[in-house]
Amino acid sequence: MNKPTPPLVSGALPGLGHALEFRSDRTSLVRRGFEEHGSVFAIKLANQNVAILIGPENQRVFFMETDKALGIQKPYTFLRAMFGEVLFLAPHDVYLDQRTVVLEAFRREKMLHYQDVMQEVVQKWIDSLGQTGEIELTGEMVRLVQEVAGNCFLGHEVHQQIGREFWDLYADLSAGLDPLLPPNLPLPKFRRRDRAKAQMLTILQPIIAERRAHPDRYDDFLQDLVNKRYRDGREVEEDLIVNLLLGLMFAGHETTAGQAAWTIIMLLQNPEYLRLVQNEIRRVVPYGAPLDTGRMAQLDHIGWAVREVERMRPSVDLLMRTVEEDVEVGDYVIPKGWLAQVAQDVAHNLPGLFEAPENYDPCRYAPGRAEDKADRFSLIGFGGGTHKCTGMNFANNEMTVITALLFQQLDIELLTEHPQIERGLGASRPSQTWIRYRRKSDEALHAAVDAAVASPAGCPHAQTAATAASLN
pLDDT (mean) for 326-339? 96
DSSP E strands, 19-156:
40-45, 48-53, 70-71, 132-136
Cα distance between residue 276 and residue 282, in whole Å: 10
Q: What is the mean pLDDT of the chain?
A: 88
pLDDT (mean) for 271-293? 94
Cα distance between residue 142 and residue 432, in whole Å: 12
Instruction: Of 429, 359, 403, 376, give the one whose Cα is nearest residue 136.
Output: 429
* φ, ψ (nearest 5 deg) of residue 334: -100, 115
In angstroms, how far is CA 97 from the centroid of its own chain? 24
Domain of 82, CATH number, reads 1.10.630.10
- What pLDDT, on the 0 to 100 scale, is given for residue 458? 60
Q: List, in sequence order, every residue forming a beta bridge with 42; answer none if it has no partner.
A: 8, 51
- Asked if residue 156 is part of any domain, the answer here is yes
What is the pTM for the complete model shown? 0.90
Q: What is the pLDDT of residues 56-89, one digit of tens each?
A: 999 999 999 998 999 988 888 888 888 887 777 7
Left (φ > 0), alpha (ψ -120 to 50) or beta: where does 233 sit?
left
Domain that holds residue 415: 19-471
- Asked if residue 9 is part of any domain, the answer here is no
- Of residues 203 and 426, more confidence is placed in 203
- Asked if residue 14 is part of any domain, the answer here is no
- Asked if residue 4 is part of any domain, the answer here is no
pLDDT at 455 over 60: no
Domain count, the chain: 1
pLDDT (mean) for 352-369? 95
Cα distance between residue 24 and residue 423, in whole Å: 9
- Asked if residue 83 is part of any domain, the answer here is yes
- Asked if residue 13 is part of any domain, the answer here is no
- What pLDDT, on the 0 to 100 scale, is given for residue 425? 63
- Asked if residue 423 is part of any domain, the answer here is yes
DSSP E strands, 99-203:
132-136
- Asked if residue 11 is part of any domain, the answer here is no
Any idea which of 256-260, 316-320, 405-409, 440-444 has the lowest mean pLDDT?
A: 440-444
Q: What is the pLDDT of residues 86-106, one digit of tens each?
A: 777 777 777 777 777 777 778
- What pLDDT, on the 0 to 100 scale, is given for residue 410? 97
